[in-house]
Amino acid sequence: VSVFLVGAGPGDPDLLTLRGARVLSSADVVVVDRLVDPRMLELARADARIVDVGKYPGAGSAAEDQAAINELLIAESRAGSLVVRLKGGDPNVFGRGAEEVAALTDAGEQVVVIPGITSAIGVPGLAGIPVTARGESSVLTVVSGHRVDDDDALPYNALAALDGTLVLLMAVEHRARIAQRLIEAGMDPRTPVGAIERGATSDERRVATTLAELGMVDLRAPAVIVVGAVAAHMGALGQRGGPSSRLEAIAALV
């Protein structure tokens, strides 16, 4: 076993699993993504090699970048290094984890997946939004809003009919179109929406809005957008640093 595909969680290094921290502290090579908090690398050995393969828009095609990452992981593993491939959130939630596992196993290398807290569930949770709640929502759907250029990209009618919690990742850019299509498909324009930018980091920002207003509010990536009745809970914990930050100060102690 020489490659560990580790979920880093949504931001704060404290949200890495104990198993993830253990392998990270033994790694010879750590291959990281853009969404991984640099503070997490303090857990690595001082002499570990850190390779940043963060993908920036326009830095080459996604497929080329991914092939290069796969080759790097295979080469390092063959060279006998203990490799940790650290990915934001959970490696298998819109993280191309499966592609890296397939590339490694096809090349005859062994790989172990260590799950992480996905931003889809953990970021709303930290902001006070339960993604399911008895009597409010018993369905949880997580979708990517990344390739929503054409109108058939998401099954809007099905999503609107579920009447549960809809979590949108990578959806900041196309949020206006997604909201409009969901309303056209029958979703109530007054449906609560909670958006959390840079969740679980020191500059987290929360925006409470509605489906009708989602396209108009100021929002920057990376953000998790929660659509559904449960989003109304976001106010309960208050803004970070705001009047109810005492609760967060208490949470920081535990």
Active site positions, annotated? 33, 55, 170
Binding mask 15-44 for ligand SAH (x = CB under 6 A): --------------------x---------
221 binds ligand SAH (CB under 6 A): yes
Contacts of 78 (CB under 8 A, 6+ apart): 107, 109
Instruction: Identify which of residues 110 and 202 has a Cβ nearer to ligand SAH in the complex.
Output: 202
| Shortest Å distance, C-beta 225 to ligand SAH | 8
Whether the Cβ atoms of residue 73 and residue 83 lie closer than 8 Å to each other: yes
222 binds ligand SAH (CB under 6 A): yes
Helix axes 62-78, 97-106, angle to 10 degrees: 50
Residue nearest to ligand SAH (CB): 89
Contacts of 206 (CB under 8 A, 6+ apart): 127, 194, 195, 196, 197, 234, 239, 240
86 binds ligand SAH (CB under 6 A): no
Near ligand SAH in 93-112, by CB under 6 A? 93-95
Distance CA(88)–CA(128), nearest Å, equals 21
CB atoms within 10 A of CB 139: 12
Instruction: Identify which of residues 81 and 141 has a Cβ nearer to ligand SAH in the complex.
Output: 141
The interface region with ligand SAH, picked from 116-124, 158-166, 207-215, 243-251 by CB under 6 A, is 116-124
Instruction: Identify which of residues 49 and 177 has a Cβ nearer to ligand SAH in the complex.
Output: 177
Q: Is the backbone of residue 33 left (phi > 0), alpha (psi -120 to 50) or beta? A: beta
Contact residues: ligand SAH, CB under 6 A: 10-11, 35, 87-90, 93-95, 118-120, 123, 169-170, 196, 198-201, 221-224
